[in-house]
Chain A
Amino acid sequence: MQQLVNTLLGGLTLGMVYAAFALALVMIWRSTRIVNFAQAPMAMVTTFIALRIIEAGHSYWLGFAAALLAGLLLGALVERVLVRPVEGKAEINAVILTLGLFIVLHALASVVFGNRYRSFPAAFGIRGMEVGDMTIALTGFGIFTILAVLAVMGLLVLLFRFTDLGLRMRASAYNQEVARLLGVRVGHMLTLGWALASLVGSLAGLLIAGGSLVHPGYMDAVVVYGFVAAVLGGLDSPAGAVVGGLLLGVSLSLVSGYVGSELVALAALAILMVVLLLRPQGLFAQARERRV
């Protein structure tokens, strides 16, 4: 019983992080039809910025805020400078671009921050709680992880559903030409979309790093999980990304707890294959009308 509860809670916490990462992928996919393979190293770079600040003796929260801000700026910069020239071109261009960025950021981080494992602090305790005679694997930092991701998702929903800016951003994602004719500065909206997605990715990076070890490749496994979660939910659906992330987190946690932790990566790919075979549009994709 205790093991099951702990496995599920661990999966839920991890699933929240996958959900955030998948959400970042989906936001970029929806607005620019690009799979951002560089999402993980972008988040990694911002986490290292946080680590630098924390190691320099500043508070965890200053590092945390700086990393999110850096994520916002990095996302905007990448879209405006690198992605803009390949938008609307053959898809392979964007794929090669983001893969190239993946490699470049990795290499740069190794040079600047060093290619070794370093411990990253957590804002809250990382020891489980004791309830009666059971030790529950829900840590202070785990609760913070869940709340932080929920808060960001809530803010995104508010932005997209209830503000004029969000309406402009959605219009730009769905139909650039019509949005332009209605006076929307589509370029600005795409830049902002990348910036926000990159911020969400940075949050995922910080939450994975918390109380753990970081090095330039520490996010690479999350790329796979985030991507599986995004495809699981349907690349077009933000809600799907969140549910996909949670499903994946819990499934992988169950595999890790009851089958063997060495099979986690394999299980993720097996889930991806099954979904692609049975429901290639994802579990939550909306039926889209065919454009004639």
Chain B
Amino acid sequence: MIEVRELSASYGAVHALRDVTFTAPTGEVTAVLGANGAGKTTLLRTITGLVRARSGSATYDGRELTRTAPELMPRLGIAHVPEGRGVITELTVEENLRLGGLGRGRGKAGAAQLERVYGLFPAVADRRTALAHTLSGGERQMLVLGRALMAEPDVLLLDEPSLGLAPRIVAQMFELVQSLVADEGLTVLLVEQNARSALSIAHRGVVLNLGRVVVDDRAEVLAGDDQLRHAYLGF
């Protein structure tokens, strides 16, 4: 369970997050929604320590995260897939994946995890020796998702995974996330602008507006609230 309590963060004088409080229960998908600039990305970056929190806390099973170095996240079982996908384009597909497997600190990146990821993403498996910059947007998204899974995380923080992808690819990817949650009890914090798709797999939804939480409820409540959808979710 990820518990965020009165978390605030700022870039200089700009308050990006103000007293954000919500809970992402274990084994569920929690969607974080809102317009551009609402603070969604900052929220993830503050949780994993890339952005310093001004006040408040974010804990994972009781352990404080905001004052823990980002490089320790994989050891805690937390995988953060940053916005813009974060494929290391100069490395090959397989090197990207191996890198993901190193973070958990269990010695050598396991061939077993590699085969599992290739099994989940056959399109990526076909390109294993290619440099990652030759991949299409959809393939890159599969690659970073696979790379995150290499560390066998318990928590997945996904930042705008649908950005720039064809609807068919988005549907495939969300289906996969959904099955990982169902089969392996993964906890997912899903930041999305594409609220309709995100709510289709989410259990809960948190809507941010100008850095504040405006709604925190079950996903079906959010999806069914016409006024809310028009005001904040754009569908």
Q: Contact residues of A with B, CB < 8 Å?
A: 164, 167-168, 170-171, 174-175, 177-186, 286, 289
Contact = CB atoms under 8 A, between A and B. Distances in A.
B74 A167 contact: no
Contacts of A177: 50, 82, 86
B72 A183 contact: yes
Contacts of B226: none
Contacts of A286: 90
Nearest to A168: B102
23 contacts: A164-B108, A167-B91, A167-B102, A168-B99, A170-B95, A171-B88, A175-B86, A175-B88, A177-B50, A178-B88, A179-B88, A180-B50, A180-B71, A181-B73, A182-B103, A182-B147, A183-B71, A183-B72, A183-B74, A183-B75, A183-B105, A184-B71, A184-B102
A183 B102 contact: yes
Contact of B82 (A181, A184, A185): A181
A100 B133 CA distance: 38
Contacts of A175: 86, 88
Contacts of B108: 164
A181 B86 contact: yes
B98 interface: yes
A171 B91 contact: yes
A181 B48 contact: yes
A184 B105 CA distance: 10
B80 interface: yes
Contacts of A179: 88, 99
A176 to B, nearest CB: 10
What size tier do the contact residues of chain B reach? 20 to 34
Contacts of B104: 183
Nearest to B98: A167
A216 B56 CA distance: 56
Contacts of A180: 50, 69-71
Interface string B92-122: 0001001110111100110000000000000
A185 B73 CA distance: 11
Interface of B: 48, 50, 69-75, 79-80, 82, 86, 88-91, 95, 98-100, 102-105, 108-109, 133, 147, 151
B50 A174 contact: no
A182 B99 contact: yes
A178 B71 CA distance: 9
B73 A183 contact: yes
A163 to B, nearest CB: 11
Given A167-B102, A184-B103, 14 more contacts: A164-B98, A167-B91, A168-B99, A171-B88, A177-B82, A178-B86, A180-B70, A181-B74, A182-B99, A182-B100, A183-B103, A183-B151, A184-B71, A186-B71
Nearest to A165: B102
A289 B105 CA distance: 32
B200 to A, nearest CB: 27
Contacts of B98: 164, 167
Contacts of B100: 182
Contact of B99 (A167, A186, A289): A167
Contacts of B79: 181
A174 B88 contact: yes
A104 B69 CA distance: 35
Contact of A181 (B70, B75, B105): B70
Nearest to B70: A180
A184 B103 CA distance: 7
Contacts of B82: 177-178, 181
A164 B109 contact: yes
Nearest to A181: B80
A192 B48 CA distance: 25
Q: Which 6 A-B pairs have the closest CB atoms?
A: A183-B103, A183-B74, A178-B86, A180-B70, A182-B103, A174-B90
Contact of B133 (A170, A181, A289): A289
A184 B73 CA distance: 10
A171 B50 contact: no
A168 B82 CA distance: 18
A171 B90 CA distance: 9
Contacts of A183: 71-75, 102-105, 151
Contacts of A178: 82, 86, 88
B153 to A, nearest CB: 11
Contact of B89 (A181, A182, A185, A289): A289
Contacts of B109: 164
